[in-house]
Structure 1
Amino acid sequence: MPGHVVVAPDKFKGSISAADAAAQISRGIQRCDPTIRTIECPIADGGEGTLAAALAAGFERIPVAAPGPTGQRTLTAYARKGTLAVVEMADISGLHRLSGGVLRPLTASSRGLGTVVARALDDGCREIVLGIGGSACTDGGAGFLRALGAEVVNVHGSPIPDGGGALSQATMLDVSWLHPGLGHAKIILASDVDNPLCGPTGAAAVYGPQKGATPTQVAELDAALAHWADRVAAATGRDARDNPGAGAAGGVGFAAMTVLQAEFRSGIELILDLVDIDQHLDGACAVITGEGSLDHQSLHGKAPIGVRLHATAHDVPTYAIVGVSRLSPEEQAASEFSAIYSLQDREPDVTRSMADAADLIASAAEDLAANYLLALDRS
């Protein structure tokens, strides 16, 4: 076959990681024809799987102990290559880190993210990518900043408790003692969330319910975030509350952009750069991507579409293997995938499909190779 096949799936959420999905796609292809060469390039969009994507791309894993969203000690890591670090918030402060799985909408904190960033700065990293999807907290990034040396106090001059519910008590933010390494570092936010911090499309209103907030708590958190934004503006002379992405990760986007003057970038585009997708596409004859669910939202910047856009720029056809496709025929045509294989077509029972995802992905890849990749060889 002329060229190689780039295998670049995202995770199948709740079922199989991006790296394991890539391995199963390669297995299926080579079951069809062992001579087909594949390059596995698992990806992410800034949320869960960001750390794994960086490690698969050759970054070094640096273990770190940090507080989880409720303060419990958590063993996590960041990925490093030279002075570049990649930090995944979901792995430190994500919903799966909540003790007993109990949601804590008012008290969950982003402090652990700041702890890992501080460690990366201590280690000499000077460019830090923060993948900030999948957080459990809505604390406006206050915990994140406090772990980096900031102080947030109440009217009595005492530190306020962690969590978004306590932000209404804040009377002053002091950034005098921020980690000195921040003065020499570039912070980049990787996310595909473009919500502002407050209001009907803000962090609390849109994402608070997913983190366990009742309607009353959503209103409480939104008011607390607005109060927090006022305190941050007073301390820094800057206010990014209305910037696209300020509402990412419960307001970590706002804190990083306002206090650290972080750059905000599309999560999938940044990850594709980190894994050198364009280099892998040189000389490729096909790309296979995928994720758990392909739907209307996927057409607006999700990982598989990002892969397809890069492949199209290299004039390489792109195929998708997904858990389920909810695209209409018109949306499927607009996606411009050469073909879409859905695991649901092989196993309609969702529970069994998720449990057997590895074998189903390999089987779909084997059929895809027989139907399309061998045809490329004959053309």
Structure 2
Amino acid sequence: MRVVIAPDSFKGSLTAAEVCAAIENGVLRALPHAEVARVPMADGGEGTLDCVGAATGGREITLTVGGPMGRPVDARYLLSADGTSAVVELAAASGLPLVEPGEVDALRADTTGTGELIADAVRRGAREVLVCIGGSASTDGGTGLMRALGARFLDADGAELPPGGGALTELARIDLDGLGDEVRGTRFRIACDVTNPLVGPEGAAAVFGPQKGATADQVRRLDEGLTRFADVLDRQFGVRVHDLPGAGAAGGTCGGMLAVLDAEAVSGCELVADTVGLARQLDGAELVFTGEGRVDRQSAGGKVVSLVARLAAERGIPVVALAGQLVPPLDDLHALGLTAAFSIADGPRPLADMTVSAAELLSGAAEQIVRLRVG
């Protein structure tokens, strides 16, 4: 039997590669001579750099950059072997876990560190940069990122605005004179897996602001700031991103990059699948495992589980999802081709215990599923 294992990470517990190893252990306990293909996946957010690096090689570059609250942090990005392209994870420099409990300030958090990673990659010769924008700590429209590349965000008096989305209510003009030729000549792609618009009740501030510590009053101010930002983008560059699906990703970073850097938004999940050759790996498979920390109705919306299910179903291969938490109904996933889904929990357990024991539980669940398949 050929078995393909193509999961996302179990965030806070196991990387996608570690999930693959755990499931493989269970498969081989049930079927020692199985041919197993490990294909760690990601949806364009955290973990994408590792998946792409494992598939294509390249060199990790580590820098000290400004974190989301301005405090220095060490962050890494991937430079291709030939130095012409780079993969940057926003979460590495501007992610929510980098904000200490005592320094939460939703109005001031920004994406400067991510821009510093990009600027370094461009200086080294990268002319194609993939920016993976999951896990943002800020709602600044990507202005910190673009400021690090040479853009200036000015008020009505021509003074430069301070960092953060809260200051965007005073935005009057964007000055791109400092954007060098190297940056202008770089192709930017954004790996994005959400469809939220920039502003409004489903926008970046309203939906994701509270997750980043924003109070109700701060959410309103951030939404006003992003609206002002979008108005200026429309007036200066002729690009309307107010209600553009996906523009609200990463606190509006997607919308800002689309308008200012002429970036292209791509499905992170599909991009990773193409990079790691998932379709090719599925050839000849008789069983496919996928999974993520939580499988629910949202998993059908462009997540790893939904893509793997669809590709496997197109080839007539049974596909099983394993998850730390399973939240039905899963009708949408089954319609895409998912054969079955199982929680790895073996009984009532505290979350902390589940997290520590995830590898063991994955192995046990995979073993029982394979025994059913070959029995």
State the AA in 2 paired with 1:246: A
Does 2:155 match 1:157?
no
TM-superposition CA deviations, 1:301-323 (whole Å, max 9, x none): 22111111122223322111111
State the AA in 2 paired with 1:131: C
What is the alpha-carbon distance in structure 1 between the residues aligned to residue 364 and residue 212 of structure 2? 36
State the AA in 1 paired with 2:110: S
Deviation of the 1:348 alpha carbon: 4.4
Does 2:306 match 1:305?
yes
- Secondary structure (helix, strand or coil) at the match of 2:139 reads coil
- Report the counterpart of residue 9 of structure 1 in structure 2: 7
Instruction: Summarize the alignment of residues 89-100 of structure 1 with structure 2, pairs less than 5 Å apart.
Output: 89-100=90-101
CA RMSD of aligned residues (A): 1.9
What is the alpha-carbon distance in structure 2 between the residues aligned to residue 329 and residue 200 of structure 1? 26
CA contact (8 A) 1:11 1:17 kept: yes
Moved more, 308-317 or 261-270: 308-317
- Report the counterpart of residue 276 of structure 2 in structure 1: 275
Does 2:137 match 1:139?
no
Change (3 A) 1:71 1:59: farther
- How many correspondences in the alignment? 372
TM-superposition CA deviations, 1:112-166 (whole Å, max 9, x none): 1111111121122222111111100000111111011101123343321100111
Q: Which runs of 5+ in 1 are unaligned?
A: none
TM-superposition CA deviations, 1:145-195 (whole Å, max 9, x none): 101110112334332110011112222210122132233322111111111
Instruction: Summarize the alignment of residues 174-323 of structure 1 with structure 2, pairs less than 5 Å apart.
Output: 174-323=175-324
Change (3 A) 1:333 1:303: closer
Deviation of the 1:284 alpha carbon: 2.3
Q: Which runs of 5+ in 2 are unaligned?
A: none
Deviation of the 1:349 alpha carbon: 3.7
State the AA in 1 paired with 2:54: A
- Report the counterpart of residue 74 of structure 1 in structure 2: 73
Does 2:44 match 1:43?
no
Percent of matched pairs sharing the same residue = 41
- Secondary structure (helix, strand or coil) at the match of 1:227 reads helix
CA contact (8 A) 1:151 1:173 kept: yes
- Secondary structure (helix, strand or coil) at the match of 1:42 reads coil
What is the alpha-carbon distance in structure 1 between the residues aligned to residue 153 and residue 132 of structure 2? 24
What is the alpha-carbon distance in structure 2 between the residues aligned to residue 222 and residue 188 of structure 1? 25
Deviation of the 1:362 alpha carbon: 1.2
Moved more, 108-117 or 224-233: 224-233
TM-score normalised by structure 1 residue count: 0.92
What is the alpha-carbon distance in structure 2 between the residues aligned to residue 105 and residue 355 of structure 1? 31
What is the alpha-carbon distance in structure 2 between the residues aligned to residue 127 and residue 336 of structure 1? 34
CA contact (8 A) 2:297 2:333 kept: no
TM-score normalised by structure 2 residue count: 0.93
TM-superposition CA deviations, 1:240-294 (whole Å, max 9, x none): 2321111110010111110111111222112211222112122322221100111
- Secondary structure (helix, strand or coil) at the match of 1:57 reads helix
TM-superposition CA deviations, 1:180-226 (whole Å, max 9, x none): 22333221111111111111111111111111111111111111111
CA contact (8 A) 1:346 1:360 kept: no
What is the alpha-carbon distance in structure 1 between the residues aligned to residue 46 and residue 356 of structure 2? 19
CA contact (8 A) 1:114 1:144 kept: yes
